[in-house]
Amino acid sequence: MNDVDKEYFRLIDLIINKGRVKKNRTGTDTIGVFGEQAKFKVDMDAFPILTTKKVWFKGIFHELLWFIKGDTNIKYLVDNGVHIWDEWAYTKYKNVSDANKSRHISNIPGYEDYKDSHWEDISQQEFVRRIKEVPHFYERWGDLGEGTYGGMWRSFPYWDGSWIISKEDVTHVDQLQKIIDKLKSNPDGRRMIVSAWHPYWIDHCALPPCHCLFHFNTEELTLDERLQIFSKGWDVLEARKQWASGSVKIDEHEALDEHCIPRRRLNCLLYQRSCDTFLGVPFNITSYCLLTAMIAHCVGMDPGVFTHTYGDLHIYSNHLEQIKEQMTRNSMVLPKLWINPNVRDLFSLKYEDIKLVDYQSHPAIKGEVAV
């Protein structure tokens, strides 16, 4: 049953019927509500992704891999044909004064080779081409800033109170690795949180994180829940008869362990401060369901429920017609998600290790990004 489109439409109805118009830094008004929540079951056989418009899974997955790598430079995305962050990098580039450009690029190796023809006021298309093709250009201008997601997830900076001589003395925390370690060593813990919100760096990066804090929680599966997982490929009734009759002298949970059936379920809750309902939220839903599935896969748990908590949940005024078109469409059957069973390290998963199988949807609907 497809509850993903249904739940998404519920949010849209709420915004349209109860939302209030607000102005914002982009210059494009929004209509929105504050403090809503939605839940999505992370089912590998019915994976959460909208079907009433095509959602670009390739872009979602590459962006997620980019976050997981701890990368903050758009070079990886551009090289893989993903351009969802181009506007932010280009805007950051355009906001730097000519004097600063000259000062910075003169120190880049190879500057003499292209300084006369590559630093005029260029278009976004030309900017992206240079990120991809011009040596060293991306090193200075492709980076979105330390406060961007990947940097915070994998290298959150802090000061431990000791004397600091230079920025190299600042210590960093790999929050994502800590989550993996805690899930393995203390799965009942309540401190499995990753924060992308750094009070200083939010003012010094291209875009302060919108989805800024996520929290993992696990719960022990009951025997019936484990048997439901087991039943997807085995005759559960026959197995239970054998156990009940005493012909199999083994604890039921231990028997399921032998078939690698998880003992725990992994749930994820995200707090998102700013939520572009038409363009961003569909990406965010699938991205965090995918992250939950990937981590569950790597720590031997069953993916559970993704809870999406929204701060400012809004629709931009220039997306209202697209939203109306989308809401005339009927939902379709959800696809399956396949993760390579031979790769159990989160940081070793590659694009080819995950596939969305049998994804059917209505056509994509374009909308302009408010930068």
Average pLDDT over residues 139-155: 92
Residues 6+ positions from 93 with CB-CB distance below 8 Å: 127, 141
Q: Which of 210, 268, 275, 289 is catalytic?
A: 210
Give per-residue pLDDT as tens, 294-330: 999 999 999 999 999 999 999 999 999 999 999 999 9
Residue 335 exposed, middle or buried by CB count within 10 Å (0-12, 13-18, 19+) = buried
Residue 243 has pLDDT above 80, yes or no: no
Measured CA to CA, the distance from residue 124 to residue 112 in angstroms comes to: 23
Measured CA to CA, the distance from residue 339 to residue 356 in angstroms comes to: 9
Tell me, what's the pLDDT at 116?
40
Measured CA to CA, the distance from residue 67 to residue 21 in angstroms comes to: 33
Measured CA to CA, the distance from residue 204 to residue 153 in angstroms comes to: 17
Give per-residue pLDDT as tens, 30-64: 999 999 999 999 999 999 999 999 999 999 999 99
Helix, strand and coil content of the chain, in percent to the nearest 5, comes to 40, 20, 40
Q: 1: pLDDT confidence band, cut at 50, 70 and 90?
A: confident
Q: Which two tokens stand for residue 302?
A: 């069953």
Average pLDDT over residues 189-216: 93
Tell me, what's the pLDDT at 128?
97
Tell me, what's the pLDDT at 102?
54
Helix (H) or strand (E) holding 302: strand 302-316
Q: What is the pTM of this model?
A: 0.88
Give the whole-number percent of the chain exceeding pLDDT 70: 86
Tell me, what's the pLDDT at 234?
47
Query: Is 275 within 8 Å of 281 (Cβ atoms)?
Result: yes
Tell me, what's the pLDDT at 251?
73
Q: If you average pLDDT over every residue of the chain, what do you get?
A: 88
**Contacts of 317-323 spanning 24+ positions with Cβ under 8 A:** 317/21, 317/28, 317/29, 317/30, 317/31, 318/28, 318/367, 318/368, 318/370, 319/277, 319/278, 319/279, 319/367, 320/31, 322/278, 322/365, 322/366, 322/367, 323/12, 323/16, 323/277, 323/278
Residue 231 has pLDDT above 90, yes or no: no
Residue 127 has pLDDT above 50, yes or no: yes
Q: What residue type is 32 in one-letter code?
A: G
User: Domains of the chain (ranges plus CATH)?
Assistant: 4-72+145-158+170-221+262-357 (3.30.572.10), 76-143 (no CATH)
Tell me, what's the pLDDT at 97?
53
Tell me, what's the pLDDT at 113?
46
Q: Is residue 210 among the annotated active site residues?
A: yes
Q: 87: pLDDT confidence band, cut at 50, 70 and 90?
A: very high
Residue 241 has pLDDT above 70, yes or no: no
- Go through the chain and tell me how many residues it has: 371
Closest CA to 301 of 209, 192, 152, 169: 192
